[in-house]
């Protein structure tokens, strides 16, 4: 059966721009724009946290025909596959967002079968997963993942790009993060996406526990900067 090609362009919205468009993601965005036109099986990966989940969320908002699956650890492999396939019935494009590193055996087995179903049904499948090659412990899944086209996304490195990411992340928490605070965080904390977002998550958790607004002075006190 010949797969129908649907013509799309890759969207650029304010949230999408601040999360994705920087030097580390140009290649990935270009390849995904082709995937949205021509389909195929892709493995979107990174060596460290780089915004893959945010990219899938942004794509799903722009393309209602894109399904974004998650794992349900309580289900057996067969139950997980059945649940996924039921969800996917009315979608043209398939994607799954996986937690980093190796998966439990049932989940890994379910992912293997999902790839096989995508191949059999000629469905485009995008797998977002930070997992090193030596962490693929299920042989059947390892062989399938190594056959997929691998597309790398790297985290932002410049202060300008990190600033945009932090600003966007704070907006998702309904916090108008002052530029001065972002500058302080970039000056006094490790200048990588993982460390910066971890600090922001720490502030969010503390704010919920203390039931207080995230002000600049409060944030500096909590981060000891």
Q: Which two tokens mark 61?
A: 């908002």
Q: Is 157 left (phi over 0), alpha (psi -120 to 50) or beta?
A: alpha
Mean of the per-residue pLDDT values of the chain: 86
How do residues 106-147 score in pLDDT, each as one tens digit?
A: 999 999 999 999 999 999 999 999 999 899 999 999 999 999
| pLDDT per residue as tens digits for the range 42-89 | 999 998 888 788 788 878 888 899 999 999 999 999 999 999 999 999
Q: Are 70 and 40 in contact (CB under 8 A)?
A: no
Which two structure tokens, joined as six digits, stand for 144? Answer: 């399938």
Query: Which residue is associated with the tokens 């490195």?
Result: 157
Residue 21: per-residue pLDDT: 61
Strands in 41-45's sheet, in edge-to-edge order, are 66-69, 93-97, 125-128, 41-45, 149-152
Burial 161-190 (b: 16+ CB within 10 A, else e): bbbbbbbbbbeeeebebeeebbebbeeeee
**Which alpha helices (H) appear in 122-178, and where do they start and end?**
139-147, 159-172
Q: Count the Cβ atoms, other than its own, within 10 Å of residue 68.
A: 19
* pLDDT value, residue 131: 95
Instruction: Confirm if 40 and 72 have CB atoms less than 8 A apart.
Output: no
Q: SS3 breakdown of the chain: % helix, strand, coil, rounded to 5?
A: 55, 10, 35
Average pLDDT estimate for 17-46: 81
Nearest CA to 6 out of 41, 43, 45, 33 is that of: 33
Res 6 pLDDT > 70: no
pTM higher than 0.85, yes or no?
A: no
Give the pLDDT confidence score for residue 20 in this predicted structure. Answer: 43
Write down how long the chain is: 225
- Which pLDDT band, with edges at 50, 70 and 90, does 11 fall under? very low
Asked if the model's pLDDT at residue 1 lies above 80, the reply is no
pLDDT for 59 equals 84
């Amino acid at each position: 059966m010949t797969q129908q090609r649907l013509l799309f362009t890759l969207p650029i919205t304010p949230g999408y721009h601040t999360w994705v468009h920087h030097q580390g993601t140009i290649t990935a965005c270009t390849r995904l724009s082709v995937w949205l036109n021509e389909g195929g099986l892709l493995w979107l990966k990174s060596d460290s946290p780089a915004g893959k989940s945010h990219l899938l969320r942004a794509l799903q908002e722009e393309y209602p025909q894109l399904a974004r699956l998650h794992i349900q650890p309580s289900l057996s492999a067969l139950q997980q596959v059945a649940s996924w396939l039921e969800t996917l019935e009315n979608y043209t494009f398939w994607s799954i967002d996986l937690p980093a590193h190796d998966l439990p055996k049932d989940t890994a087995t379910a992912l293997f079968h999902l790839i096989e179903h995508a191949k059999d049904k000629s469905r485009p499948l995008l797998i977002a997963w930070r997992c090193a090659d030596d962490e693929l412990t299920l042989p059947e899944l390892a062989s399938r993942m190594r056959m997929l086209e691998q597309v790398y996304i790297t985290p932002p490195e410049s202060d300008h790009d990190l600033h945009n990411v932090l600003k966007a992340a704070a907006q998702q928490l309904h916090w108008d993060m002052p530029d001065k605070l972002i500058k302080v965080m970039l000056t006094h904390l490790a200048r990588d996406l993982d460390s910066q977002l971890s600090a922001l998550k720490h502030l969010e958790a503390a704010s919920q526990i203390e039931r207080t607004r995230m002000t600049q002075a409060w944030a500096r006190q909590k981060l000891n900067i």
